[in-house]
Structure 1
């Protein structure tokens, strides 16, 4: 899973392919009063040098280095790390250094991952209390009275078990999602190279009798245009992501929430 990156209390989001939201970086720069209207992500990406650079990066990685989404929750400009850092540099050198350090820390810091897991565990406990309404009296109703120190130890062990369970679920579904993404990416490459084809239901246009294109084998074969083909694979990606999220939530409820609820009842 992607690391959590925060600049000036602004969370810089990442999509399923690791691209960063340039609009979030722009908001972080606005918070520091370092950006102008001409430095918006849309203007930056249209510049000649960046457009050529993005094409080279896409060709080298065999995947889109830039993705622009119009409308919806994910609306904005998304770009790989190299382009995100170049965008930060176009705003202000000091801001570039700040963004680079955040990106570097997110990769090299092992402690950051541990903190995120602990925070996730605390969030889960808050979720239990609010959604399942586990009252403190339910814990006090246990037959065996324990000391305050023993209660803390029990709570710590439960938290550790829950974090381990959530981490295991997260790792499994992340692997499955990565496999699905690789499979779709390979399918997209096969279609682009002509090794596979997309099948669609189509109606051949009527050909006037007696015309040179009177036979079906003379007519042009119907196919998806470039935009429709790209949207097809984007939809496939999002379906796989949504499916893994749903499966992960279902496993979380079955293996963590309900299990914890049963322990409290006992």
Structure 2
């Protein structure tokens, strides 16, 4: 999996691809004033959540209580908003980490596309090669017959008188 890494910390994602705000909080330094709950209570955050949910018809965040995956998970836009709220330096780290994640994913995607193209090409060549082998197999008896006929025509006939 292609993880988002910020300040040497892997940021968990849920099954919907949302990022763990608690992990971001730790990556930002873990100050109490930057707790996820503080951010989620801001009027600007609530407004952004409303806009995202109206525009995209999806939940902008989810809170998982209990278990190994517990935490507040947010969409990419809220990750950026949280990073901007924390500090310009942290925001830059988040932007660059996300860009790196996307570049890595694009590189893997391009490698996959190249492998698929190579596989298809190999299948086409194998199919073409099989067809050529079958044509050759069918042509060999005809070629032998023609060769034998030409050889016999080239042989001088001996007439005994």
Q: Which TM-score bucket, shorter chain as reference?
A: 0.5 to 0.7
The 5 A counterparts of 1:1-266 are: 3-30=2-29, 35-109=30-104, 110-111=106-107, 113=108
The secondary structure found in structure 2 opposite 1:6 is strand
Unaligned runs of 5+ in 2: 113-161
Structure 2 CA distance for aligned equivalents of residues 60 and 91 of structure 1: 25
Distance in 2 between the 1:9 and 1:3 partners?
14
What TM-score results when the alignment is normalised by the length of structure 1?
0.39
SS in 2 for 1:11: strand
Deviation at 1:22, TM superposition (A): 0.7
Residues in 2 aligned to 1:20 and 1:57: alpha-carbon distance in whole angstroms: 15
Q: How far is the alpha carbon of 1:3 from its aligned partner?
A: 2.5
CA positional deviation for 1:104: 1.5
Shift of 1:49: 1.1
Aligned length, in residue pairs: 111
Gaps of 5+ in 1: 118-266
> Which residue does the alignment assign to 2:134?
none
CA distance in 2, matches of 1:81, 1:107: 12
C-alpha distance in 1 between matches for 2:51 and 2:98: 22
Equivalent residue, structure 1, for 2:158: none
Distance in 2, Cα, partners of 1:45 & 1:103: 21
1:61 deviation in Å? 1.1
For the residues of structure 1 that align with 2:59 and 2:32, how far apart are their CA atoms?
A: 26
* 3-state SS of 1:16 partner: coil
Distance 2:4 2:31 in 1: 23
Partners of 2:20 and 2:2 in 1: CA distance: 14
Q: Per-residue CA shift, 1:199-237, capped at 9, x if unaligned?
A: xxxxxxxxxxxxxxxxxxxxxxxxxxxxxxxxxxxxxxx
CA distance in 1, matches of 2:78, 2:7: 20
Instruction: Measure, in 1, the Cα distance between the counterparts of 2:56 and 2:39.
Output: 21
SS of 1:88's equivalent in the other structure is: helix
1:52 Cα deviation from its structure 2 partner: 1.5
Cα RMSD between the aligned structures? 2.2
Higher-strand-fraction structure: 2
CA shift for structure 1 position 108 = 2.7
CA distance in 2, matches of 1:36, 1:70: 21
SS at match of 1:68: strand
* Larger gyration radius, structure 1 or structure 2: 2
